[in-house]
Structure 1
Amino acid sequence: MKKHTWFQLEEHPEVYFGQYIVPNFISNSIAIRASENHWVLISPGEKLLAEWIKRWKEPETKISIIFPNSFHYMGVNTWLKVFPDATLYASQKAKKRLVKKGFNRILALESHRPELPEGYDVLIPPGHRGGDVWLSKQGPDHSNLWITCDSFLNYDRVSNQPVARTLQAILGAAPGLKISQVIKWLLLDGKANFKPWVLNQLEQDKPSILIPSHGEVERDKALSEKLSTLVKQRL
């Protein structure tokens, strides 16, 4: 897939996603068209800004930015230079660290929700040290969508970079749908809360499309069952 380009999600045409590298690993940015002039961005990458401006920026365009956890902020300052009035959102847990990183006026998603198209729900998984935020959307014809953060990875192959390839092998991070050892070792501070929550949420939402923060978009009618099995095996 071409990097630094935005692609439309066919099953949910209001959703666009683009890829960039941070560092050596594929990362995803998400852009959701909430209305004619309002967009919601998740993990906006610096190198995806130029094409986004070329395709969609108008004088009246407004954007909201969701930090999907306290670690996904690297490209945001670049976007704020172009959109200084952007509304920022994060979970309450993530907000504490993001404020220390210099981001002010962040609205906590527990009490404030951005404008999103019909059918979307904001999910805040318990037990994440970084304060993860996911989005869920119900769709027709078994096209239910999950937009997650670091909990799930989906690299279609191991990296060409020796260091990245070694890390992927050690951490069990590629290829295919994975839960990296990093989740258990570093990112989860409440596995006992997260595991039953995610299994229950999978049963409720039954996603068949996954856009993780890292890796490729996954489409599979059996996705919910596969993710459930993965969670039981790895956590």
Structure 2
Amino acid sequence: MPDLPAFEQIAGLDGVYSTSNGKLRCVAIRLNSGGLCLYSPVLGLGQTARNSLDHLGSVEVLPAPNQYHNKGLAQYHAAFPQAALVAPADVCARLKKVTGLTFDPLQTVGLELPEPARLVFPEGLKTGEVWIAVGAALIVVDAFAGAGAPELLKTFPRYGVGNASVYTTWVQRFLTQQSPNMLVPCHGSIVRDDALSDQLVALLRQIS
């Protein structure tokens, strides 16, 4: 896999940066401490990406945002051994078995995110996914993709959902309340659309 390019700020999101390798994205978020959280580390951490991170701040936290996005963690842990390894509580044991690394549960340790950023734990999933909401922007792993409808959902409803009724009810309520107009996915391009929330809710209703 080729080396990642430099992390660059996402337009409209202060303290949020991203880089991508093909269709896979890693997001760096500045914490209250001034350090960085790297959401979904992507393989290919070369000197260019390292240099850009050194300029932005110290890498303090490496979250595994679900049980599948773990392939880059060993590489990043070796590069940033001082960074805390965290993951949703339900998948910490599985991740340790797969990676050999030990993770602290995000629900317990949290992240020192600056307001208005916050962790979001969707209900009804079997993948242990965690999102980060930053105002009207939503940073996600596998639930939604950077593509037009209906590809926004990809294959997620067929493999990521444990209880479809619980998940669709929860996510429709969340999207209606949150009304995101920007989607920063780990797969695909960033989506900006004032009607994003309505589009996602409509798609979810079709599969529920």
Same fold (TM over 0.5): yes
Deviations 1:146-177 (A, max 9, x none): 00111111247xxxxxxxxxxxxxxxxxx775
Partner of 2:95: 98
Pick from 143, 147, 171 the counterpart of residue 151 of structure 1.
143
Pick from 211, 221, 224 the counterpart of residue 197 of structure 2.
224
Residue 11 of structure 1 aligns to a residue in which SS?
Answer: coil
Counterparts in 2 of 1:63-74, with a 5 A limit? 63-74=60-71
Pick from 169, 187, 193 the counterpart of residue 160 of structure 2.
187
Offset of residue 36 of structure 1: 6.3
- Distance between the aligned counterparts of 1:39 and 1:113, measured in 2? 14
Deviations 1:6-55 (A, max 9, x none): 2311111211111113xxxx111100122464101111112244323212
Closer, same or farther: CA 57–5 of 1 in aligned 2, 3 Å: closer
- Distance between the aligned counterparts of 1:77 and 1:101, measured in 2? 11
Q: Indicate whether 1:13 and 2:10 are aligned.
A: no
AA at the equivalent of 2:143: S
- Distance between the aligned counterparts of 2:32 and 2:122, measured in 1? 27
- Distance between the aligned counterparts of 1:200 and 1:103, measured in 2? 37
Counterparts in 2 of 1:21-60, with a 5 A limit? 21=22, 26-35=23-32, 37-57=34-54
Structure 2: runs of 5+ lacking an equivalent? none
Alignment coverage as a number of residue pairs: 204
Offset of residue 109 of structure 1: 1.5
Partner of 1:115: 112
Which structure is larger by alpha-carbon Rg, 1 or 2?
1
- Aligned-residue RMSD, C-alpha: 2.0
Partner of 1:86: 83
Structure 1: runs of 5+ lacking an equivalent? 139-143, 157-174
Deviations 1:54-78 (A, max 9, x none): 12327x8242011110000111111
Pick from 130, 133, 137 the counterpart of residue 134 of structure 2.
137
Residue 128 of structure 1 aligns to a residue in which SS?
Answer: coil
Deviates more, 1:99-108 or 1:217-226: 99-108
Closer, same or farther: CA 27–232 of 1 in aligned 2, 3 Å: same
Contact 2:7 2:19 in 1 (8 A): yes
Contact 2:60 2:84 in 1 (8 A): yes
Q: Indicate whether 1:201 and 2:174 are aligned.
A: yes
Partner of 1:170: none
Structure 1 runs (4+) greater than 6 angstroms displaced: none
- Distance between the aligned counterparts of 1:33 and 1:126, measured in 2? 26
- Distance between the aligned counterparts of 1:213 and 1:56, measured in 2? 18
Offset of residue 223 of structure 1: 1.0
- Distance between the aligned counterparts of 1:230 and 1:118, measured in 2? 30
Pick from 148, 152, 159 the counterpart of residue 178 of structure 1.
152
AA at the equivalent of 1:51: T
Compute the TM-score of the two structures, normalised by the length of structure 2: 0.89
Closer, same or farther: CA 8–207 of 1 in aligned 2, 3 Å: same
Residue 153 of structure 1 aligns to a residue in which SS?
Answer: coil
Partner of 1:169: none
Identity of aligned residues (%): 25
